[in-house]
Amino acid sequence: MKITFRWYGEGDKISLSDIRQIPTVDGVVTAVYDTPVGGVWSGESIKKLAVAARKNGVPWEVVESVPVHEDIKLGLPSARTYIDNYKENLRRLSAVGIKCVCYNFMPVFDWLRSELAFPLEDGSNALAYKHESVVGMNPLTSELSLPGWDASYKKDGLKTLLTRYRAVTDEVLWDNLKAFLSEVIPVAGECGIKMAIHPDDPPWGIFGLPRIITNIGNIERFLRLVDDPYNGITLCTGSLGAAKENNLTDIIKTAKGRIPFVHMRNVKITGGRDFCETAHPSACGDIDMYAVLKALLDGGFDGYVRPDHGRMIWGESGRPGYGLYDRALGAAYIGGLYEALTKSDSRDKRMKMRLP
């Protein structure tokens, strides 16, 4: 198992040398950010990231994300070109040693929250979601400013997009996902890249848009769509764990052998569909992080893990969910859980934890 840390490239105020100083962290998770969604990433940009990461002692083996163009999710004729571009990106990424690609298949929005700086009792703040506030928002008016929101959609563009999605039921989205996977997974296999779909966050439909990677039944269906070891999931504990009905250890058993990448973070369910994010340890929220990592290791997991969103603590400000301090605490905590779970076990030989 390797513990990794997300880095947003040169524009990130957190540097690779900051990341290198977090004990337990073996590598970075990043992406090329200079190309519009659907385009082919330049070999030069890819190489630059790979060289910088290697030079700083935190090699880059996981991409998050190679985003999927909306036309693919909508199943439009132009999907053809975007799928070809996607395959080309995989080929180029494999040339610098990428082993895993995270992506999602959520229409229009990525993760959605109603609050970016929800105050927690200890004086820190975190991302939070209040269902009533979100469903009360009109995505067609300018008042919508949600995290995960891609500002590049102009208001008119969004209207067209949402209108197009009216015809896309869950079943149509499944078909479009299958069409995408049938093309992409064989190429991923040739490239030695494990594809890891990120669950929908939160794991339920919003604004009438279909959302399908939400629960155990759908994850099982997803894995069978293209039954191939290169077609896997990102187990995001905070995304799936926001729904009370999702049992993470059951999901881990169902997806055994098909989880190349794990996002570990904790959430506290504060009402039916309301939740806030918390510090990583089990005691801070509703997710049993020990049970999650144990279930993964018991199932033979040997992939990449990263701390997911963190709180803002110690006066830090920055990209919501992606400050340095609390995620660093998360990484150290994951390393502690891992050591405790594997110490007396032959599995600990697999840990390539760097020594200070």
Do 15 and 39 meet the contact criterion of CB atoms below 8 Å apart? no
Which entry of ligand CS2, Mn ion, none binds 61, CB below 5 to 8 A by partner kind? none
Please list, in sequence order, all residues whose beta carbon lies within 8 angstroms of the beta carbon of residue 87, skipping any fewer than 6 positions away: 183, 184, 187
Task: Give the largest Cα separation in the chain, rounded.
Answer: 59
**Residue in the block written with tokens 């959302």:** 211
**Pick from 26, 61, 64, 277: which binds ligand CS2 (CB under 6 A)?**
64
Question: What are the helix and strand counts (H, E) for the chain?
Answer: 12, 12
Q: How far is the CB of 234 from Mn ion (least distance, A)?
A: 7
70 vs 341, beta carbon nearer ligand CS2: 70
Give the residue from 100, 76, 112, 132 showing the smallest Cα distance to 211: 112
What residue type is assigned to position 158 of the chain?
A: L
Q: How far is the CB of 236 from ligand CS2 (least distance, A)?
A: 6
Q: Compute how many other C-beta atoms are within 10 angstroms of the C-beta atom of residue 226.
A: 18
Q: One symbol per residue from 96 to 115: x for binding ligand CS2 (CB under 6 A), - otherwise; what is it? A: ------xxx-----xx----
Q: One symbol per residue from 229 to 258: x for binding Mn ion (CB under 5 A), - otherwise; what is it? A: -------x----------------------
Q: In whole angstroms, give the CA distance from residue 231 to residue 2.
A: 20
Instruction: Determine, following the binding rule CB under 5 A, whether residue 12 of this chain makes contact with Mn ion.
Output: no
61 vs 64, beta carbon nearer ligand CS2: 64
71 vs 201, beta carbon nearer Mn ion: 201
Instruction: Determine, following the binding rule CB under 6 A, whether residue 129 of this chain makes contact with ligand CS2.
Output: no
64 vs 326, beta carbon nearer ligand CS2: 64
Positions annotated as catalytic residues are 198, 236, 263, 308-309, 322
Under rule CB under 6 A, how many of the chain's residues touch ligand CS2?
13
**Pick from 2, 113, 263, 311: which binds ligand CS2 (CB under 6 A)?**
263
Judged by DSSP in three states, 235 sits in strand
236 vs 313, beta carbon nearer ligand CS2: 236
Q: In whole angstroms, give the CA distance from residue 118 to residue 129.
A: 9
What DSSP state is assigned to residue 166? T
Instruction: Determine, following the binding rule CB under 5 A, whether residue 113 of this chain makes contact with Mn ion.
Output: no
Q: In whole angstroms, give the CA distance from residue 101 to residue 52.
A: 19
**Residue in the block written with tokens 């300018």:** 142
Q: For Mn ion, which residue has the nearest CB?
A: 236
Q: Establish how many alpha carbons lie within 13 A of residue 40's alpha carbon, considering only the half-sphere containing its beta carbon.
A: 11
Instruction: Determine, following the binding rule CB under 6 A, whether residue 258 of this chain makes contact with ligand CS2.
Output: no
Q: Note the residues at the interface with Mn ion (CB under 5 A).
A: 236, 263, 308
Q: Note the residues at the interface with ligand CS2 (CB under 6 A).
A: 64-65, 102-104, 110-111, 198, 201, 236, 263, 308, 321
